[in-house]
Structure 1
Amino acid sequence: MSETMPIEDYLAQGGKLTSPENAPARYRGELMRLMATFVDSELAGAAGFAEIINAGPGIKERIAASRIVLEKLDHAERVLEIMGEFGADTSRYATHHPWTERVPRNSDLGAARHGTDMRLAVLHYPLDGWTDAVVMNVLMGRAVVIQLDEFTRLSYQPLAEVFRAILPRERRHMELGEEGLRKILVDRAAQAEVTTSIDYWRPRVAASFGAAASTHFETQKRFGLRHTANAELASAWSKQIGDMLVELRLSPEGAT
């Protein structure tokens, strides 16, 4: 980085930082917020899914669910290590918040933060049985892959490298969910339950992309921590979900 170039200009032009010592205070704050949201979401997601493992209809389904829980915890630990380099108290983190705590099923949080941790609002809602958990994993899995792909290009190089390592595993979580959903739909009598769950989770997952007009995004963009606007990411997700529902004959376009 040129000694005369302002840090925001350097980052906006694709510059990278490699250590906490090089990060100015405002950048550190934005980066810590991004990491805390990811870690808290992985811990809360793992906690909620762990409670549903034994509802799986077979051994393979329970193994898949267990794998998702294990790897989400591992992902949280990897990013938490970087947070520790910025001064976070990593020794207490895993037990500091009630990760299994959920709001009533009929709550409507939108994208607002809730409670004492930084998880995405969608992860405050409870799962309602195996089919509901599979549907949520499918819809949220697509969102996670889109959002993580965005993070693989962020300007703090050590974190970008972690996200690049995590992305294929989260993509596999998405695929496991879709495999599970197709298996459920072999029995077409399950379609009504699946549709009910989709109607419940679809707007809640959509809200996880944040507001279309976001000053917070603009700040992150200046620091090279984000590149693609919330509305664009949400639109890509919505199209993917729409196409998938057509393929699964869960929308009027795909019905026969």
Structure 2
Amino acid sequence: MAMTEQEKEQRMLEKIANGETIETVEEMTEEYRENLINLMLMQADSEVAGAFGYVPWIMKAPTTAEMLSVSTIAKDEVRHGRVMYKLLQDLGIDVDARVKDFDFNLRVGDEVELGITRAAEDNRVNIFYYPINTWYDFIMFNVLMDRGAGHQLEDSEMSSYGPWRRVMEGIMKEEMMHVAHGDSWLVKLAKDPEHKENVQEALDRWFPRVMNIFGKPNSRRNAIYIKLGLKKRDNHEVRLAFEADVRKVVERAGLEMPTWVPDWERIQEDATITG
């Protein structure tokens, strides 16, 4: 006799509590599947949107060596997106239709600040709606967004969904290479009087945007993720770890650490980026 949904949930949660992984759709409750898909779509859509934003900088990079570096970073992001979309196909997502439906080249105007809201119906982290207009912007994506993604995705390396957990080691290694690329350029440019002011301006502009990607503290959605073993930490705990990490490289570069003051009263919980 088939298990009831309640029996399936009990068995699934017991496996998760024992440190075992969920491997098939048949083991999942609908709640688990829906929340898993939501998180994985955030990652997949973000990887592709990020790659599209980087592509113009292959041509605009300051040296031929950097043309290769940028093209490698863009290729990595496309590969990450493809890895995630393949997992999503196993969960019933029509990936090709999704990519056709959404404009992953969409960017907002320079004057727009999104807070933690999205600009379209895809699931990308909203930092990828902002344009990359200068080399300083590109470097800040490596320093801040790739670093922020790394802190968020640490939990995925311990995810209760086995197929996702197993692909994350390779993705994280490449993300950390992107961070190292950004850190190297940040220190180099900040030590040059010709560039320091522009680097500080870019840091001041991008840091609050990236701090917003982690979502509200103690959110209802994040509590569900933790219950299901899809996340391990509260949003704000991840944000504080990211902030401390950024502070180290900012101090090494001799720059001023930007401030970030959230205004949670004007944020709707259902618009949070990470739930």
How would you bin the TM-score normalised by the shorter chain? over 0.9
Q: What's the TM-score once normalised by structure 2's chain length?
A: 0.86
- Match among 224, 235, 239 for residue 234 of structure 1: 239
What one-letter code is carried by the residue in structure 2 that aligns with 1:151? S
Q: Pick closer, same or farther for the CA change 1:22–1:245 going to 2, 3 Å.
A: same
1:76-104 CA distance string (max 9 Å, x none): 10111110011111233333311111111
Q: What's the TM-score once normalised by structure 1's chain length?
A: 0.92
Q: Is the 2:200–2:256 contact (alpha carbons within 8 Å) kept by the matching residues of 1?
A: no
Asked whether 1:183 is paired with 2:188, we answer yes
> What secondary structure is seen at the aligned counterpart in 2 of 1:47?
helix
Structure-to-structure mapping, 1:99-248, within 5 angstroms:
99-248=104-253
Deviation at 1:69, TM superposition (A): 0.4
Q: Which residue of 2 aligns with 1:32?
A: 37
Q: Pick closer, same or farther for the CA change 1:3–1:190 going to 2, 3 Å.
A: closer
> What secondary structure is seen at the aligned counterpart in 2 of 1:92?
helix
Q: Runs ≥4 in structure 1, deviation > 6 angstroms?
A: none
- What is the CA–CA distance in structure 2 between the aligned matches of 1:162 and 1:188, rounded to whole Å? 42
Q: Which residue of 1 aligns with 2:265?
A: none
- Match among 76, 80, 93 for residue 98 of structure 2: 93
Q: Pick closer, same or farther for the CA change 1:5–1:89 going to 2, 3 Å.
A: closer
1:77-135 CA distance string (max 9 Å, x none): 01111100111112333333111111111212111232020001111111121122112
1:150-207 CA distance string (max 9 Å, x none): 1100100011101122110111111111222233335222010001100110000000
What one-letter code is carried by the residue in structure 1 that aligns with 2:73? I
Number of residues paired by the alignment? 251
Question: Structure 2: which 5+ runs fail to align?
Answer: 1-6, 258-275
Deviation at 1:15, TM superposition (A): 3.1
> What secondary structure is seen at the aligned counterpart in 2 of 1:208?
helix
Q: Which residue of 2 aligns with 1:73?
A: 78
- What is the CA–CA distance in structure 2 between the aligned matches of 1:107 and 1:12, rounded to whole Å? 43
What one-letter code is carried by the residue in structure 2 that aligns with 1:231? H
Asked whether 1:49 is paired with 2:54, we answer yes
Q: Pick closer, same or farther for the CA change 1:17–1:205 going to 2, 3 Å.
A: same
Q: Pick closer, same or farther for the CA change 1:77–1:3 going to 2, 3 Å.
A: closer
| Structure with higher RCO (Cα < 8 A, 6+ apart) | 1
Question: Structure 1: which 5+ runs fail to align?
Answer: none
Q: Which moved more, 1:178-187 or 1:152-161?
A: 178-187
> What secondary structure is seen at the aligned counterpart in 2 of 1:52?
helix
What one-letter code is carried by the residue in structure 2 that aligns with 1:107? V
What one-letter code is carried by the residue in structure 2 that aligns with 1:116? E
